[in-house]
Amino acid sequence: MRVLSLFDCSLNSIINHLPEIKDQGFDAIQISPLQNTKNDYSHEWWMLYQPINFNLGNRLGNVDDLKRLCDIAHEHGIFIIADVVVNHLASTDEPNSLIPNKMCDKDLLNNWDCWKERRQVQNWDNRYEVTHYCMGLPGLNPNNKLVQQKVIDMLNYYISCGVDGFRFDAAKSIALPEEGCDFFRNVTFSLKKWLPIIYGEVLFSDKELIKKYARYMKVLTNSEGYNKEDLIKFVENKDSYLSKDLSYTKHVPIWDINSWYKGLASYYPNTLYYARNYSNDWNGWKSKEVKEANLKLVKK
């Protein structure tokens, strides 16, 4: 599957590009999180990752816009994959705050068991820290049944709107069943219908950890795995391009990105191409090189 990540694009603007996206050989579009945010007037890209609840509708569009996008995308034979934030909610406005914002879902806000330990991850090679501490925002306790049910309800509502799959943001920070957490097992088996694709973000990880996540979903990663069928591979993503802490592809020319993507797509059957937003390079996905890469069949 070839996925085009149209990060921070309004749902209605995506509709205008559907014929060209299909012609370029993309099978699916990954849209940004649509959950309510703590500041819907802010156009900072990271605000989309500070939701206050699991309700849908923000500056990118509302439920009606989503249904329309899904309907028209399906007419063109394109899947819609929703990026979902299930690991954390928004913080207060104080710097480095791990305290939930007062606008967060009241059912969760007033229940201590719904939250991870209020400590920041320091060692990303320590699985206890990664799965029990916070990654810069107030972390949700994925073992809590109320948290799980709210996530399940949101995902099923997405499905009722026509969404075909999900990207779990920060999946690496959610423990696995073999680590004592039943989140992914309970959530994925509670969806109202089978979906073509579900993947979780597991970056900078070894093959063994990727293998464990691959038991429950495909793995969106910049690392290697044992089985290429399990992976969604990418050259760059929003973090490598926009994040102040990472941004390792920020100054890489788009022609290099496209060349590397072509090499990636020649070996991996599942790839993601990030359309560089806020940039003159946004049209990079329209190149002949990307089209050739997408249409090339990969031997299994």
Task: Could you please state the CATH topology (level 3) that the domain comprising 2-85+142-295 is classified under.
Answer: TIM Barrel (3.20.20)
**Residue 66 CA to chain centroid, in angstroms?**
17
Hey, where are the domains in the chain?
2-85+142-295
Q: Which amino acid is at 198?
A: I
**pLDDT tens by residue, 175-219:** 999 999 999 999 999 999 999 999 999 999 999 999 999 999 999
Q: What is the full per-residue pLDDT of the chain (300 aa) written as tens digits?
A: 999 999 999 999 999 999 999 999 999 999 999 999 998 878 899 999 999 999 999 999 999 999 999 999 999 999 999 999 999 999 999 988 999 999 999 999 989 999 999 999 999 999 999 999 999 999 999 999 999 999 999 999 999 999 999 999 999 999 999 999 999 999 999 999 999 999 999 999 999 999 999 999 999 999 999 999 999 999 999 999 998 888 899 999 999 999 999 999 999 999 999 999 888 999 999 999 999 999 987 765
Query: Half-sphere exposure of 12 toward its Cβ, with a 13 Å CA cutoff?
Result: 8
β-pairing verdict for 231-234 and 197-201: unpaired
Can you spell out the DSSP letters for 223-234?
S--S-GGGEEEE
Contact 247, 278 (CB under 8 A): no
Angle between helical axes of 288-295 and 254-265 (0-180°, round to 10):
10
Calpha distance 184→267 (Å, rounded): 28
